[in-house]
C-alpha cells in the first residue's frame, strides 16, 4: 500500500521539475512513510511513497521491465501475483524482485492495457511506456484504491489524493457547483466528479491512456459487476460455495511480509472474517475495536465476545464527545467535504491498530454483497406495495400528496408518511435515489441560495443513483445492490477506510470485496440474501455455528455516532460559527436564514436534521481550510494539522 503521484506535460520537451515532484510526493508522505522514489524522463515524472508490505528489501518503486522502457508506480496489493509471476517467468520474463509490483510491467508487455483483466486485488497505478510515449492509469474493479486526475491544456497531473495534485504550483482550484449539490444530497461526492471542477476521479474498473498526441482521451471501462446471470442451485450448495469462497478470499488476503491483524466491530461481517482467519492463522490474531461512551451506540460487548471466542489478542478504544471538537485531521485527510460521520471512529481504530500492525483485514463489503442494510428490507416492502398500485394513481394522487405532506418528525411514526409517499409515487430507481438522499430536492431548493442555484442549471444528483440502480435490473434488491456497489461502496465506505487507514500508514484489506466473491454473490438469487425479512440470510447460515450464540442473528447496528446529540452539545459553537454566520465562507452557497431555522428545530427536537447539519458543518470546515471560492480564488493556505491530539481513550 502506498501513495502515487506524477505529471505528464503536453509539450514533450518540457521536463518535470524535481522540486515540484518532491512536493507532490511529500503531500502524501503519510501514505508511504517507509520511502520515496522518482522517475523522470522527457515530459513525464512519476513519484512513489512506499508503505513496505511485500518484499521489504527489494520492492522500492518505480519498478521497470528488463530494458527499463516500461516504468510503474503502484498503490495496492495484487493477491494473485505469485501465480502471475510463475506464468510470466515460464514465458521468459526476468524478475529482479519478489514484489507484486513487478508483475505489472511484465504483464503489460504481454497484454498491454488489457493487463488489468488478469489482476485480482486492489490497485491504482500509473505505467509509462517510453516506446509508445503513453501513460496508462488504472483503478481496480471495485474502487478500493483512489486515483485523481487533473487536466488542462498544458499538463495532466495524477495522485492518490487531491493533496498531491494541489501541491503543483499551477492548479486551477475552481469549485464545481454540481459537486456541492451532489455532496449535500448524499454526504459524499459520487462518481467521476470531485469538488474541484478541473479534477476528476478515475472511476472504478476504468483505465485511461494518454500521450502528447492524444492528450484528451476518455477513460474506458474494463469490467462491470453483472446481476444478469442468476445461477440455480440448492440452498446447501450455495452455503458451501459461499463458505469456500470466503475462506479462499481471506487466505488470499493474508499475503504479506509483515504482521496482519483484523478490525472487529462485533457485527456479522467482521466476525465472519475473524472466524475464517482462525481457521488459517496459527498464532493468536490481533483484533481492534472501537466504541462510544453512549452505550446504545457501542458494539464493544459483542466484539469482546467474539475476541474471547477465538482467543484473539484484543485491543479496544472509546470515542468520546471531545473527539469531534477538533475536526482538523478529518478535514485534512479527506481532502473533500465528506459527511460520513463514522470516519471519526474509523480514524480512531486505524490509529490504534497502526501502533501494532501494518495490515488489517476488515468486514467491508458484506452488506453490498449479501443484502445487509435495513433499508433493503424496507424498500422491498415499498416495492411490493408500488407493484400493486396503478401508475395513474401513483402519479396523479400520491405524487402531489408527497409534495404537500410535511416532514414532521414530531408526529407519531405512523403519520410520518412523506418519504413513503415520495417513494411510492416514483419508479424503483427514483425511489431508491430518494432513500439514499440525506437532503432531498425540496429541501435543497430552500437550503441553497438563489445565486448559487442559478449556477446549477438543471443538475439532478439523483440521476447518478438511478443509472447505477438500473444496471441491476434483475429485481428490486439487485438494483439496490448495484447502486450501492457502484456508488456508496467506492465513494463513501471505501473512501472512508482508505483515508482513515492511510493517514496512519496502515493498509486495510476487505476480503468480502474480492472480485471473485462479489461476482459469485451477484449470481446468487435475491431470496437467499434477504429471506422472510432476514438480511444476509446465506451468510448467517454459513457462520452461525462458528460464532458465539445468537451473534449471527442479532440486529445490525453499524458504525453509528450520536451526531444528533453532539450537534446540540459539544458541536454547537462550531455550527454557529462555521455554518450559521452570514459572513462565513459557506454563506456563498447556502441560505443562512433557512439553515438557522432547521438548526433551531433540531435543537428543540421538533425536527431531526442531524445528517444535513453535519454535512453543512463539514462543508463549512472544508471551505475555511482549503480557502477557495467557486471562482477558484484563494482565501487562505492549508497546512497539515496532524498532531498528537487524542481522538479516544485506549485500553486492552
List active site positions. Answer: 2
Q: Are residues 520 and 513 in contact, defined by beta-carbon separation less than 8 angstroms?
A: no
Q: Residue written as cell 453512549?
A: 294
| CA angle centred on 355, ends 350 and 359, rounded to 5° | 60
Q: Residue written as cell 432476514?
A: 534
Which residues, listed in sequence order, are joined to residue 158 by a DSSP beta bridge? 6, 149
| CA angle centred on 317, ends 484 and 262, rounded to 5° | 55
| CA angle centred on 248, ends 116 and 552, rounded to 5° | 120
Nearest to 126 by CA among 146, 144, 142, 110: 146
3-state secondary structure of 558: coil
Kindly report the number of other CB atoms within 10 A of residue 23's CB atom.
17
| CA angle centred on 626, ends 76 and 31, rounded to 5° | 20
Q: Is 140 annotated as a binding residue?
A: no
Using omega within 30 degrees of 0 as the cis cutoff, is the peptide bond preceding 21 cis?
no
Dist. CA 463–CA 430, nearest whole Å: 8
How buried is residue 196: exposed, middle or buried, by Cβ count under 10 Å (0-12/13-18/19+)? buried
Dist. CA 310–CA 284, nearest whole Å: 9
3-state secondary structure of 47: strand
Q: Is 385 annotated as a binding residue?
A: no
Dist. CA 451–CA 171, nearest whole Å: 26
How buried is residue 392: exposed, middle or buried, by Cβ count under 10 Å (0-12/13-18/19+)? exposed
Q: Are residues 88 and 106 in contact, defined by beta-carbon separation less than 8 angstroms?
A: yes
H or E stretch covering 309: helix 300-310
Q: Is 100 annotated as a binding residue?
A: yes
Helices 494-502/343-354 angle, 10° precision = 40
Dist. CA 168–CA 394, nearest whole Å: 53
CA dihedral of residues 460, 381, 482, 514 (deg, nearest 10):
140
Dist. CA 286–CA 179, nearest whole Å: 40
Maximal CA-CA distance, the chain: 73
How many alpha carbons lie under 13 Å from residue 364 in its C-beta half-sphere? 25
3-state secondary structure of 453: helix
Kindly report the number of other CB atoms within 10 A of residue 12's CB atom.
14
Could you give the C-alpha distances from 467 to 185, 228, 460, 463, 503, in angstroms and in order?
Answer: 16, 16, 12, 6, 33
Dist. CA 72–CA 108, nearest whole Å: 10
Dist. CA 494–CA 510, nearest whole Å: 9
Q: Is 362 annotated as a binding residue?
A: yes
Dist. CA 507–CA 353, nearest whole Å: 10
Do the strands 2-9 and 44-50 form a parallel or antiparallel pair, or are they unpaired? antiparallel
Nearest to 264 by CA among 561, 548, 487, 514: 548
Looking at residue 91, the DSSP 8-state letter turns out to be: T
Dist. CA 149–CA 154, nearest whole Å: 14
- Binding residue positions: 100, 290, 362-363
- Binding residue positions for L-glutamine: 100
Amino acid at each position: 500500500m502506498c501513495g502515487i503521484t506524477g505529471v505528464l506535460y503536453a509539450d514533450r520537451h518540457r521536463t518535470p521539475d524535481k522540486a515540484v515532484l518532491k512536493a507532490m510526493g511529500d503531500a502524501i508522505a503519510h501514505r508511504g512513510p517507509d520511502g520515496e522514489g522518482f522517475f523522470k524522463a522527457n515530459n513525464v515524472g512519476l513519484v512513489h511513497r512506499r508503505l513496505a508490505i511485500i518484499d521489504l528489501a527489494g520492492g522500492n518503486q518505480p519498478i521497470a521491465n528488463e530494458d527499463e522502457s516500461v516504468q510503474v508506480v503502484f498503490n495496492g496489493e495484487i493477491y494473485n501475483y505469485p501465480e502471475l509471476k510463475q506464468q510470466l517467468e515460464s514465458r521468459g520474463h526476468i524478475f529482479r524482485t519478489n514484489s507484486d509490483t513487478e508483475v505489472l510491467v511484465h504483464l503489460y508487455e504481454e497484454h498491454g492495457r488489457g493487463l488489468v483483466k488478469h489482476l485480482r486485488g486492489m490497485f491504482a497505478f500509473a505505467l509509462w511506456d517510453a516506446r509508445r510515449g503513453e501513460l496508462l492509469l488504472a483503478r481496480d474493479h471495485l474502487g478500493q484504491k483512489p486515483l485523481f486526475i487533473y487536466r488542462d491544456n498544458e499538463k495532466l497531473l495524477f495522485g492518490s489524493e487531491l493533496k498531491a495534485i494541489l501541491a503543483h504550483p499551477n492548479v486551477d482550484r475552481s469549485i464545481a457547483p454540481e459537486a456541492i449539490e451532489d455532496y449535500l444530497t448524499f454526504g459524499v461526492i459520487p462518481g467521476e466528479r470531485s469538488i474541484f471542477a478541473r479534477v476528476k476521479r478515475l472511476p472504478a474498473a476504468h483505465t485511461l491512456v494518454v500521450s502528447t498526441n492524444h492528450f484528451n482521451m476518455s477513460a474506458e471501462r474494463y469490467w462491470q459487476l453483472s446481476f444478469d446471470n442468476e445461477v440455480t442451485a440448492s440452498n446447501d450448495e450455495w452455503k458451501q460455495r459461499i463458505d469456500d469462497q470466503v475462506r479462499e478470499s481471506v487466505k488470499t488476503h493474508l499475503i504479506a511480509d509483515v504482521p496482519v491483524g483484523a478490525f472487529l466491530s462485533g457485527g456479522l461481517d467482521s466476525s465472519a472474517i475473524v472466524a475464517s482467519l482462525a481457521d488459517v492463522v496459527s498464532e493468536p490474531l490481533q483484533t481492534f475495536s472501537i466504541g462510544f461512551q453512549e452505550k446504545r451506540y457501542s458494539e464493544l460487548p459483542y466484539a469482546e465476545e467474539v475476541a474471547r471466542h477465538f482467543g484473539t489478542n484484543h485491543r479496544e478504544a472509546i470515542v468520546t464527545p471531545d473527539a469531534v471538537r477538533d475536526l482538523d485531521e478529518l478535514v485534512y485527510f479527506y481532502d473533500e467535504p465528506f459527511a460520513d460521520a463514522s470516519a471519526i471512529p474509523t480514524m480512531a481504530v486505524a490509529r490504534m491498530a497502526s501502533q501494532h500492525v501494518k495490515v488489517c483485514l476488515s468486514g467491508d463489503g458484506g452488506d453490498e454483497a449479501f443484502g445487509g442494510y435495513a433499508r433493503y428490507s424496507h424498500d422491498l416492502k415499498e416495492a411490493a406495495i408500488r407493484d400493486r398500485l396503478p401508475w395513474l394513481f401513483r402519479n396523479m394522487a400520491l405524487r402531489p400528496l408527497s409534495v404537500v405532506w410535511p416532514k414532521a418528525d414530531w408526529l407519531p411514526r405512523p403519520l410520518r408518511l412523506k418519504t413513503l409517499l415520495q417513494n411510492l409515487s416514483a419508479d424503483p430507481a427514483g425511489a431508491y435515489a430518494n432513500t439514499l438522499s440525506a437532503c432531498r430536492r425540496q429541501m435543497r431548493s430552500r437550503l441553497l441560495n438563489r445565486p448559487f442555484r442559478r449556477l446549477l442549471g438543471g443538475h439532478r444528483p439523483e440521476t447518478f443513483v438511478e443509472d447505477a440502480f438500473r444496471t441491476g435490473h434483475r429485481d428490486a434488491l439487485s438494483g439496490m445492490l448495484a447502486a450501492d456497489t457502484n456508488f456508496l461502496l467506492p465513494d463513501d465506505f471505501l473512501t472512508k477506510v482508505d483515508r482513515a487507514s492511510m493517514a496512519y500508514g496502515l493498509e486495510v484489506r476487505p476480503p468480502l470485496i474480492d472480485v471473485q466473491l462479489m461476482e459469485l454473490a451477484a449470481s446468487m438469487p435475491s431470496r437467499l440474501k434477504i429471506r422472510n425479512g432476514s438480511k444476509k440470510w446465506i451468510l448467517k447460515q454459513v457462520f452461525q455455528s462458528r460464532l458465539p450464540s445468537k451473534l449471527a442473528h442479532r440486529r445490525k447496528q453499524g458504525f453509528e455516532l450520536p451526531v444528533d446529540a453532539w450537534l446540540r452539545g459539544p458541536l454547537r459553537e462550531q455550527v454557529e460559527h462555521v455554518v450559521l454566520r452570514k459572513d462565513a465562507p459557506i454563506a456563498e452557497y447556502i441560505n443562512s436564514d433557512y439553515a438557522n431555522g432547521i438548526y433551531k428545530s433540531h435543537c428543540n427536537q421538533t425536527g431531526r436534521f442531524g445528517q444535513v447539519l453535519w454535512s453543512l458543518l463539514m462543508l463549512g470546515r472544508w471551505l475555511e481550510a482549503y480557502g477557495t471560492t467557486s471562482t477558484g480564488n484563494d482565501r487562505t493556505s492549508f497546512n497539515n494539522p496532524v498532531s498528537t491530539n487524542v481522538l479516544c481513550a485506549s485500553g486492552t
